[in-house]
Amino acid sequence: MQAEIICTGSELLLGYVQNTNADYLGHELAALGIEVVLQITVGDDWKLMEQTVREALERADLVITTGGLGPTTDDITKDVIAAVLGVPMVTDDESLVRMREYFARRGIEMPDIFIRQASFPHGSKIIPNHKGTAPGALIEKDGKVIVIFPGPPRELRAMYEASVKPYLLQVPGRGEVLRTRVLKLTGIAEYVVQEILRELGDLTNPSLGYLAMPGEVHLRVNAHAVDPAEAERMVGELTEKVTALVGEYIFAVDDEIPEKTVGDLLFRKGLTISVAESCTAGMAAARFTDVPGSSRYFVGGVVAYDNHLKQEVLSVPAETLERYGAVSEQTAVAMAEGIRRLTGSDLGLAITGIAGPHGGTTAKPVGLVYVALASARETLSQRLLLPGVRKAVRIGTVNSSLRIVKNFLNRQAE
């Protein structure tokens, strides 16, 4: 089954608004085994849009449009589709009632221009929109399927999940199913990962995809098969091989949020944590507290950017700083123990390093970071060498620190 996606809206062509709908739909359809072969973004221009829709319907089994369902005269998607299909526009009474209710709840009478939002090409099944005013539609004609979505991503996603995905799952002959797992690595450069994994040989199915972003390398394990269980099995096998080679760099899998994983572990074990940061300067504390309810286990932290704060607030001995320097295992350990003492938390995490672009030397290059974790029993430390520029070093350091805390907590008996 092949699909084409047509996104409408001149603002998308101006490049000011990111077209996240195309990415979302491409990703979701692939997971169902539906291949998107073409994605088109077109402005609010009748002639071009008509040509686009007509050609898409000639080629593809499934045509999805996004946007252009609003109440104003430049919202023409539904009218264009009706013209291409050669059917009239008709008003859907139920949608009209719902829209009037939507406005009533906000204490406003519905302006008449909104009536257009309740008009659809004849033969449409209406897709309700619970997050906005413009409903969508699904049309089956001559063995083809057209799905019409509004533009706002929040609305489109809710409608896809609630109405369109269940429909597509029942269409036979969707072909092979794609299964994917994303392994998120940190503390290693993309090309090094590729070099290490070269020993797995040429991979076609299952296969590996790479995506590098600051402080992270996402490794996508893909497999396709007619039988979903078979695709799953192939993904699982390749994941195991990859993990055996680069597992130490994995800090999250799929949509896992590592700060949430760590938070859940801390809460379950009844432990609290605090953070002393130098080069990341608050980024680790901010990540911990991105999670709602983190005050149950996150106590606080100190950003010791200047060395005198390391001494005065965190009680790092002056000799340690003089003898080993601010970026050293010894200073990291003293910071971790210092923050634990200062805040009275069960665990103290400390980060000190050189984020760059300045301050690197041959002995201590940009990207050198020491992370220490103090508990009642011991203080662990780890030396990291993070690839990339300032931003990548800082994000990679926080990701690595979360990995270190997660591994520590997982090693503890429950």
| 3-state secondary structure at position 351 | strand
Q: Judged by CB under 8 A, which of 82, 302, 335, 404 binds a second copy? A: 302
Partners of 369 in the β-ladder = 353, 384
325 binds a second copy (CB under 8 A): no
Stretch that binds a second copy, among 138-146, 239-247, 259-267, 353-361 (CB under 8 A): 353-361
**Nearer to a second copy (CB atom), residue 88 or residue 357:** 357
**DSSP helix, strand, coil percent of the chain (3-state; round to 5):** 45, 25, 30
Residues 330 and 346: their CA atoms lie apart, in Å, by 20
269 binds a second copy (CB under 8 A): no
Q: Judged by CB under 8 A, which of 149, 249, 298, 370 binds a second copy? A: 298
Q: Judged by CB under 8 A, which of 67, 338, 356, 367 binds a second copy? A: 356
Minimal distance, residue 162 CB to a second copy, in Å: 20
Site for a second copy in 52-111 (CB under 8 A): 52, 59
Residues 338 and 302: their CA atoms lie apart, in Å, by 10
Q: Judged by CB under 8 A, which of 240, 305, 383, 412 binds a second copy? A: 305
Site for a second copy in 371-390 (CB under 8 A): 390
- Residue 40 · residue 67 · CB < 8 Å: no
For residue 4, give the H/E element and its range: strand 2-8
Q: Which candidate, 267, 264, 287, 290, places its Cα nearest to that of 275?
A: 287
Stretch that binds a second copy, among 74-82, 293-301, 376-384, 399-407 (CB under 8 A): 293-301
Neighbours of 223 (CB within 10 A): 24
Instruction: Give the E-state strand segments of 13-154 in sequence order.
Output: 35-42, 62-66, 89-91, 119-121, 125-127, 136-141, 144-149
**Nearer to a second copy (CB atom), residue 27 or residue 323:** 27
- Residue 389 · residue 396 · CB < 8 Å: no
Q: Judged by CB under 8 A, which of 281, 364, 380, 382 binds a second copy? A: 281
284 binds a second copy (CB under 8 A): yes
Q: Judged by CB under 8 A, which of 104, 113, 200, 211 binds a second copy? A: 211
**Nearer to a second copy (CB atom), residue 139 or residue 238:** 238
Q: Judged by CB under 8 A, which of 34, 81, 168, 285 binds a second copy? A: 285
Site for a second copy in 9-28 (CB under 8 A): 11-20, 22-28
203 binds a second copy (CB under 8 A): no
Stretch that binds a second copy, among 40-48, 61-69, 260-268, 370-378 (CB under 8 A): 40-48
Minimal distance, residue 31 CB to a second copy, in Å: 10
240 binds a second copy (CB under 8 A): no
**Nearer to a second copy (CB atom), residue 139 or residue 234:** 234
Minimal distance, residue 292 CB to a second copy, in Å: 5
Residue 172 makes CB contacts below 8 A (sequence gap 6+) with: none
Helix orientation angle between 258-269 and 390-411, rounded to the nearest 10 degrees: 30
Alpha carbon of residue 66 to chain centroid:
21
361 binds a second copy (CB under 8 A): no
268 burial (CB, 10 Å; 0-12 / 13-18 / 19+) is exposed
Q: Judged by CB under 8 A, which of 306, 318, 365, 412 binds a second copy? A: 306
- Residue 373 · residue 380 · CB < 8 Å: yes
